[in-house]
Chains A and B, each alone.
Chain A
Amino acid sequence: MTARIGVVTFPGTLDDRDASRAVRLAGAEAVELFHADADLKDVDAVVLPGGFSYGDYLRAGAIARFAPIMEKVVDAANGGMPVLGICNGFQVLTEVHLLPGSMIKNEHLHFICRDQTLRVENAETSWTTEYQDGEEIVIPLKNQDGQYVADDYTLDQLEAEGRVAFRYVGWNPNGSRRDIAGITNERGNVVGLMPHPEHAVEAGFGPDSREAGRTGTDGLAFFTSAIKGLLATA
């Protein structure tokens, strides 16, 4: 069996091709999903990629959240299907209430693009089982609305339940509460993060690693984690 992982394209999505490529490099079939179709095409998992859906008008992710495909994504996520939201995809997941909190403009107001070190805080989600708890990884970060905010009650709850999936290490690039880079839902099947694992999956095109320039592939394990989980339950 080959796992089928859907990648959703909204108007203004930028990283759908890269996400599909990452899915293929990890060993699964990438399935194109379109915002206007209320059809998940029998996929086993869904990636909401980065970009600027609907031009980020109103709020990042606010309009994409009401796209016909999202109703199906929400149903599937509630049924346990692995769903990964990257950057704008993370913003869509918070707007559609699959994940708590929200993203506001970076504290310093600048668009930021850099190789970012993260610590994996929860290696038991559908998208992180191929990492170790506490492992540090480097993947690209590029956004303007990346400051994660939630009220203290929600933040305490996330911490207590181990639902902070990733934290920024070294420098908090956007003012996110408690250095949070990514979170997961109670069940661990829905994960959202601002940095971009799909841009760090093939030597020659990723961030710099200790060994050599552009050889970092720390993002690949997001996808191999999901695939391994899907094959184990197939």
Chain B
Amino acid sequence: MATILVHVMPKPEILDPQGKAVGAALPRLGFEGISQVRQGKRFEITVDGEVTDEVLANVRTAAETLLSNPVIEDVVQVKVVREGGCGCGGHGKAEKDLLA
């Protein structure tokens, strides 16, 4: 078992109304110095077995076919965040370990 992260963001030139609304709410709550917020999507895709180049290529194709719409969104990242084990250590931790 392994987990692959797919990170999708609205294209820079496309207005992101959700990010804009969040960005407008932050100063109201006292969070100062934030000039812009853009909101994207994070998919965590679990696959059986090893992550081969073929598996990654498959996920990349899925990311470009279904998970994102190229008219309004970019796939900014496809990466393995956790390989092997049960993953009970939590996503954040596993990802940090792998990146370290």
The interface-forming segment of B53-61, B65-73, B76-84, B85-93 is B65-73
Tally of contact residues, B, Cβ under 8 A: 12
Q: Which residues of chain B are within 8 angstroms of A150 by Cβ–Cβ distance?
A: 71
Name the CB-closest residue of A to B10.
A104
Whether B72 and A58, one on each chain, are in contact in the complex, defined by CB atoms closer than 8 angstroms, is no
Q: Which residues of chain A are within 8 angstroms of B72 by Cβ–Cβ distance?
A: 102, 104, 149
Whether A95 and B69, one on each chain, are in contact in the complex, defined by CB atoms closer than 8 angstroms, is yes
Among B18, B21, B66, the most chain A Cβ lie within 10 Å of the Cβ of B66
Tally of contact residues, A, Cβ under 8 A: 21
Q: Which residues of chain B are within 8 angstroms of A109 by Cβ–Cβ distance?
A: 17-18, 21
B15: interface (CB < 8 Å): yes
Determine the distance from Cα of A35 to Cα of B39 in the docked complex, in whole angstroms: 31
17 A-B contacts, Cβ less than 8 Å apart? Answer: A58-B67, A59-B69, A66-B66, A94-B71, A101-B71, A102-B69, A102-B71, A105-B17, A107-B15, A109-B17, A109-B21, A147-B17, A149-B15, A149-B71, A150-B71, A151-B13, A175-B17
Q: Which residues of chain A are within 8 angstroms of B67 by Cβ–Cβ distance?
A: 58
Interfacial residues, chain B to chain A (CB-CB below 8 A): 10, 13-15, 17-18, 21, 66-67, 69, 71-72
Interface of A is mostly: loop
Whether B15 and A104, one on each chain, are in contact in the complex, defined by CB atoms closer than 8 angstroms, is yes
Determine the distance from Cα of A202 to Cα of B38 in the docked complex, in whole angstroms: 44
Whether A104 and B66, one on each chain, are in contact in the complex, defined by CB atoms closer than 8 angstroms, is no
Q: Which residues of chain B are within 8 angstroms of A95 by Cβ–Cβ distance?
A: 69
Q: Which residues of chain A are within 8 angstroms of B18 by Cβ–Cβ distance?
A: 105, 109
Determine the distance from Cα of A54 to Cα of B16 in the docked complex, in whole angstroms: 23
**CB proximity of A92 to chain B, nearest CB, Å:** 12
Contacts A62-B66, A102-B71 hold; do A149 and B14 have CB atoms under 8 A apart?
yes
Q: Which residues of chain B are within 8 angstroms of A59 by Cβ–Cβ distance?
A: 69
**CB proximity of B11 to chain A, nearest CB, Å:** 9
Q: Which residues of chain B are within 8 angstroms of A101 by Cβ–Cβ distance?
A: 71
Q: Which residues of chain B are within 8 angstroms of A105 by Cβ–Cβ distance?
A: 17-18
Whether A58 and B71, one on each chain, are in contact in the complex, defined by CB atoms closer than 8 angstroms, is no
Q: Which of A86-114 contact B (CB under 8 A)?
A: 94-95, 100-102, 104-109
**CB proximity of A61 to chain B, nearest CB, Å:** 9
Determine the distance from Cα of A109 to Cα of B19 in the docked complex, in whole angstroms: 11
**CB proximity of A200 to chain B, nearest CB, Å:** 28
**CB proximity of B44 to chain A, nearest CB, Å:** 14
Q: Which residues of chain B are within 8 angstroms of A104 by Cβ–Cβ distance?
A: 10, 14-15, 17, 72
Q: Which residues of chain B are within 8 angstroms of A147 by Cβ–Cβ distance?
A: 15, 17
Q: Which of A104-160 contact B (CB under 8 A)?
A: 104-109, 147, 149-151
**CB proximity of A144 to chain B, nearest CB, Å:** 10
Q: Which residues of chain A are within 8 angstroms of B69 by Cβ–Cβ distance?
A: 59, 62, 95, 102
**CB proximity of B2 to chain A, nearest CB, Å:** 23
Determine the distance from Cα of A105 to Cα of B19 in the docked complex, in whole angstroms: 11
Q: Which residues of chain A are within 8 angstroms of B15 by Cβ–Cβ distance?
A: 104, 107, 147, 149, 175
Determine the distance from Cα of A106 to Cα of B21 in the docked complex, in whole angstroms: 12
Q: Which residues of chain B are within 8 angstroms of A100 by Cβ–Cβ distance?
A: 71
Contacts A101-B71, A102-B71, A149-B72 hold; do A107 and B17 have CB atoms under 8 A apart?
yes
